[in-house]
A and B are shown apart, each in its own frame.
Chain A
Amino acid sequence: MTHTATEFRTDLKPVWCPGCGDFAVLNSVHRALAAAGCAPHETILVSGIGCSSRLPGYVETYGLNSLHGRALPIATGAKLAAPRMTVVAVGGDGDGLAIGGNHFLHASRRNVDIAYFMMDNEIYGLTKGQAGPTTPTGDRTKSTTYGNPDPSIDPCALAIACGASWVGRGFSGDVKGTTELMTRAIQHHGFAFLNILSPCVTWRGEEQHKEIRAKTRPVPAGHDATSREAAMRFTDEGEHVTTGVLYEVQRPTLLDELSDIERRARGNGPPPSRADFLGAFVL
């Protein structure tokens, strides 16, 4: 049974500012879940804390808006406990790269079978305008009066380096393109990371949307998405920002590995009894 995008909508009104890129992202999430063939009751959305992490509240699935930085471990636990469910983690750049950076590394490395959508606005919005890990060097924000001293991270470069098996970049202003990328990410077998440039009209200015639109260009035809080297060429680009599927390979997921472990642990004999477990404690 297929479900429509409308079935994934809730009647809760988002808290986001008018003009926020996250509205478009939310629209894409509704469409992508339908397009990927997900059922509302067999889907779990997990987020951290931040403007964008409010998103699960606006999607009719099982949803958990959790703690700052912890969406990925929670999503990992949910997927391992209920492998039949589609599990999607969402959040912002500060949530995923600063406070939750360690989990990003390990979810990528483990290739846990979930999709992770990062709404990247280059700023901490909910706390009203401080520099984040993707804020460009030198930018003046409310916490960097004299300019941001830190180099910014390209989340896609990090994901590729850490072992994610699917890495893409989208722009919230392109709902159709983002929906397609999300659909592919959800359907990918393994950890699929999608960085979505999602402007913050309030703290990055009205112009951010236009600037991103001017900078984006689709991944060129003939790009070899199975090559790490080729994919890395579309990270930290400077003048341009490339959207599309940057990297896509197939390798065993965490669930594949755990299934294999289970098969080896069980062997061919009957299921173990209490006595089998207690046998180690008697002579």
Chain B
Amino acid sequence: MSEDVTFSIAGSGGDGAVVAGDLAAMACAAVGLHVIKTEAYGPQIRGGESSSTVRISPVPIAAQGDASDALIVFRFADFARFRSEMPLAEGCIVLHEPDDAPPPELAAYRCVPVPFGQLAKDAGAPGAKNIVALGLLAAMFALPVDSIRTAMRKRFRKRDASIIDANFRALDIGFSFPSPRLRGEAKSEGQPRLLMSGNEATAFAALHAGCSFFAGYPITPSTEILQLLGEWLPKIGGTCLQTEDELAAIGAVVGGSFAGSKAMTATSGPGLSLMSEMLGLSSIAEIPSVVVNVQRGGPSTGIPTKSEQSDLFHAIYGGHGDMPRVVLGCSDVEDAFHTTVDAFNIAEEFQLPVIVLSDQLIAQRRETIDAASLIHDVVQRRVPQAPDESYRRYAMTEDGVSPMTVPGIAGGMYQTNGLEHDEQGRPSSMFITHERMNAKRHRKLDAIAEKYPLFRRFGAAVAEVGILCWGSAAGPVAEAIEAMNAKGARVAAFVPRILAPLPLQELQTFIDSCERIVIIELSFEQQFHRYLRSLITLPGDTRVHARSGGKALSVTEVIEAAAVLEEVTA
């Protein structure tokens, strides 16, 4: 069996499926393994079903595992809710409670009864069946047991020593329980790695970029950003405000930015919808703002706990009027950090709204990254310190960016608005002013396109198949390309990190270098495909693999969509 393994744990809320997954992931990260850990929940606030999937590999990985090599089920009724999103690998070992019979469709797998509950009671920790399971997994997959104990000590540090001891006994009992050995000892024991979620990386990026003001309203799956910055910003003299709604959140960001702070909010689709009008103000009044939108299933309330790539149109086109804004998309946890810092840099330098599109898959999965990779240059706003009589807030410039004074600077006062205005900020309803100012504001996009042609390209240098995708789709696409190219195919991918303005020249070069183009996205309406079509001529035989979100894109799915292996092996 491969060194690259995936296991899942499913049960009722309170069974500790997620905690067990966390502990395994943290322990493996600490010994230098590469980990991607995802969670899934039912809609219940407490209780209900929950699950956790952990993929562990000695080499870097970019996607959550396609299928689980082992599955722990505390209750099949709970597992049934996840079944369609939790594929099992051929020969998967299914460990379950003896009195809970597996459904017939699982007969194809190796089902092994394990009395988790009873073993936990024997250990003197009746609630610790998840720890018994963790012990079993540690034995089956040769997980670093000492490191698991350290992780448990950290996680349960506020509990009584007697409870921790009982949990250690539960771990040992699970470890000693007869089970198959599926993986040898881990070879790569390197430097400890950080285990971070996309939301955590985004929050850390805000600190790195010098953000001192955050305002937000709780919304799944972005809430962790609000919570973390609420904890962190006061430590460095910054401010975090939980507002009454998203209208107020983006309003406070615009106000804070107008007053001179680097300011950000984070939300998800419904919140972005509410923020649209204020983003127009940020655009016309040229006040920098950063909005992180963590996508989930839509429209309306949609599927709040699962990922989709269907806010693209809203981010790029949402709002009334001709409204220059920048849209960035991040493709993994580390990229969430870099993209968020880029967002601040572009917003501050060019004085416009920047939307970062993350999604639930990136935002709420935990992934190993190197601390050393969390470095990124930081740009500051152009603020004239001693403006003279001739100062004009919206002075015409070549790149469209006019120096921006901030309150406190003597002689820099100006009165601005969301009305069309002249160079001094005075309201104007004249066509000629509107035309000139529209042109000025849109010139910034040309300057941004030139300075920030952000994209990732990977795979073959000359490709028979070129995949176009964005955001979290990039992970499975990268792994699929590696697998296909290992079998002799020549596949490459182009992943724009800046979606608007799109790096058209680089994209065209890529398209020209490929024999065929395949577009892959999690949007039923094919938003990315249609967006590309509006800006660039795609070859007539371009293929599109687009479907609803709610289930992560798999490597197998990408390989099938690329449809290139048949030709290679034929």
Q: Does B70 contact A (CB under 8 A)?
A: no
* A73: B residues at CB distance < 8 A: 215, 243, 247-249, 251-252, 255
Given contacts A65-B419, A82-B261, contact A74 B204 (CB under 8 A): no
Given the known A-B contacts A81-B261, A283-B154, are A57 and B415 also in contact in the complex, defined by CB atoms under 8 Å?
A: yes
Q: Does B118 contact A (CB under 8 A)?
A: no
In Å, the complex CA distance between A281 and B231 comes to 15
A199–B412 Cα distance when bound, in Å, is 34
A70 touches B235 (CB 8 A): no
- Is there contact, CB below 8 Å, between B151 and A70? no
A61 to B371, CA, bound (A): 45
Evaluate contact between B255 and A75: CB separation under 8 angstroms.
yes
| Residues of the B chain whose Cβ atoms lie less than 8 Å from the Cβ of A57 | 415, 417, 426-427
Would you call B408 and A42 a contact (CB within 8 A)? yes
- Chain A residues near B254 (CB, 8 Å)? 66, 74, 77
B131-139, B194-202, B442-450, B507-515: which one contacts chain A?
B194-202
Q: What B residues does A84 contact at CB under 8 A?
A: 408
How many residues of A are counted as interface, with CB atoms below 8 angstroms from the partner's CB atoms?
57
CB–CB A65/B27 < 8 A: no
Total residues of chain B contacting the partner, CB 8 A: 69
- A residues within 8 A CB of B251? 66-67, 70, 72-74, 76-77, 103
B399 within 8 A of partner (CB): no
Q: A67-B418, A106-B248 are in contact. Are A262 and B234 (CB under 8 A)?
A: yes
Question: What residues of B have a CB within 8 angstroms of the CB of A146 in the complex?
Answer: none
In the complex, the chain A residue whose C-beta lies closest to that of B28 is A283
A221 within 8 A of B: no
A-side contacts of B245, CB under 8 Å: 102
Q: Mark B207-251, 1 if CB is under 8 A from A, else 0.
A: 110001101000000000000000110111101010111011101
The residue from A62, A106, A278 contacting B414, defined by CB atoms under 8 A apart: A62
A46 contacts the other chain (CB 8 A) = yes
Asked if A277 contacts B204 (CB within 8 A), the reply is: yes
Given A40-B413, A42-B407, A82-B261, check contact A262 B255 (CB 8 Å). Answer: no
Assess the B281–A80 pair: CB atoms within 8 A: no
From A10, A41, A78, A264, contact of B411 by CB (8 A): A41
Which residues on A sit within 8 Å (CB–CB) of B261? 81-82
The smallest C-beta distance from A187 to any residue of chain B, in angstroms, reads: 19
Chain A residues closer than 8 Å to B154, beta-carbon distance: 283
A58 to B252, CA, bound (A): 23
- Among residues of B, the one whose C-beta sits closest to the C-beta of A103 is B248
Inter-chain contact B30/A82, CB cutoff 8 Å: no
Distance in angstroms between the alpha carbons of A220 and B439 in the assembled complex = 58
Are A76 and B241 interface neighbours, CB within 8 A?
A: yes
Q: Are A266 and B235 in contact (CB-based, < 8 A)?
A: yes
A41 B410 Cβ-Cβ under 8 A = yes
Q: A33 contacts which chain B residues (CB < 8 A)? A: none
Contact A283:B151 (CB < 8 A) given known A41-B407, A261-B234:
yes
List, in ascending order, chain A residues with CB within 8 A of B200's CB. Answer: 281
A275 to B484, CA, bound (A): 39
Q: Does B150 contact A (CB under 8 A)?
A: yes
Does B263 lie within 8 Å of A62, measured CB to CB? Answer: no
Q: Does A59 contact B (CB under 8 A)?
A: yes
Residue in B30, B213, B374 whose beta carbon sits within 8 Å of that of A81 in the complex: B213
Nearest chain B CB to A96 CB, angstrom units: 14
- Contact of B408 with A103 in the complex, beta carbons under 8 Å: no
B277 at interface by CB-CB < 8 Å = yes
CB under 8 Å from chain B, chain A span 57-110 = 57-67, 69-70, 72-82, 84-85, 102-103, 105-106
Min CB distance A16 to B, Å, is 13
A66 adjacent to B407 (CB under 8 Å): no
| CB nearest to A82 among chain B residues | B259
B416 in the interface (beta carbon within 8 A): yes
Q: Which residues from chain B contact A42 at a C-beta distance below 8 Å?
A: 407-408
Whether B414 and A282, one on each chain, are in contact in the complex, defined by CB atoms closer than 8 angstroms, is no
Q: Is there a chain A Cβ closer than 8 Å to B409's Cβ?
A: yes
**Cross-interface CB contact of A63 among B215, B231, B247, B415, cutoff 8 Å:** B415
Once bound together, how far apart are the Cα atoms of A70 and B254, in whole Å?
A: 11
B562 within 8 A of A: no
B419 touching A282, Cβ below 8 Å: no
A residues near B232, Cβ cutoff 8 Å = 277
Chain B contacts for A271, CB-based, 8 A: 235-236
A262-B151 Cα distance, complex, nearest whole Å? 30
A17 proximal to B (CB < 8 A): no
**Given A81-B212, A277-B232: A283 touches B426 (CB 8 Å cut-off):** no
A258 close to chain B: CB less than 8 A: yes
**Bound: A152/B410 CA distance, A:** 43
**Cβ contact within 8 Å between B258 and A74:** yes
CB distance from B335 to the nearest CB of A (A): 16
Q: Which residue of B lies closest to A73 (CB)?
A: B251
Are the CB atoms of B252 and A76 closer together than 8 Å? yes
Q: Whose C-beta in chain A lies nearest to the C-beta of B195? A: A281
Q: Name the one of A41, A63, A278 contacting B204, with C-beta atoms under 8 angstroms.
A: A278
Q: Are A81 and B259 touching (Cβ within 8 A)? A: yes
Q: Given A78-B259, A281-B194 in contact, is the A64-B285 Cβ separation under 8 Å? A: yes
Does B256 belong to the interface (CB within 8 Å)? yes
Give Cα A66 to B376, complex, Å.
Answer: 33
Identify which of residues 1-31 in chain A touch chain B, using a CB-to-CB cut-off of 8 Å.
10, 12
Given the contacts A10-B415, A41-B412, A272 and B255 also touching, CB distance less than 8 Å? no
In the assembled complex, the Cα of A211 lies from the Cα of B151 at a distance in Å of 75
B window 381-439: CB within 8 A of A: 405-419, 426-427
Q: CB of B26 within 8 A of chain A?
A: yes
- Is B520 on the interface with A (CB-CB < 8 A)? no
Q: How far is the CB of A14 from chain B (nearest CB, A)?
A: 11
Minimum C-beta distance from B244 to chain A (A): 4
In whole Å, how far is A101's beta carbon from the nearest beta carbon of chain B? 11
Nearest-neighbor residue (CB-CB) of B153 within chain A:
A283
- Are B408 and A82 in contact, CB atoms less than 8 angstroms apart? yes
Tell me whether B253 is interfacial, beta carbon within 8 Å.
yes
For A125, what are the chain B residues with a Cβ–Cβ distance below 8 Å? Answer: none
Q: Which 9 A-B pairs have the closest CB atoms?
A: A77-B255, A73-B251, A77-B252, A63-B415, A74-B255, A265-B234, A65-B417, A81-B256, A283-B30
13 new A-B contacts at CB < 8 Å, known A41-B410, A54-B427, A63-B416: A40-B413, A57-B426, A66-B251, A66-B254, A67-B251, A67-B418, A73-B243, A73-B255, A74-B255, A81-B256, A85-B408, A106-B244, A278-B374
Q: List 30 A-B contacts (CB under 8 A).
A: A39-B410, A44-B407, A45-B415, A49-B418, A56-B415, A56-B417, A60-B413, A66-B254, A66-B418, A67-B277, A67-B418, A69-B247, A74-B255, A75-B255, A76-B255, A77-B213, A77-B215, A77-B255, A77-B259, A81-B212, A81-B256, A81-B260, A82-B259, A82-B408, A103-B244, A262-B234, A274-B374, A278-B371, A283-B150, A283-B192
Q: Which residues of B contact A (CB under 8 A)?
A: 26-27, 29-30, 147, 150-151, 154, 192-196, 200, 204, 207-208, 212-213, 215, 231-232, 234-237, 239, 241, 243-245, 247-249, 251-261, 263, 277-278, 281, 285, 371, 374, 405-419, 426-427
Q: Which chain A residues have a beta carbon within 8 Å of chain B's beta carbons? A: 10, 12, 39-46, 49, 54, 56-67, 69-70, 72-82, 84-85, 102-103, 105-106, 258, 261-262, 264-266, 271-272, 274, 277-278, 281-283
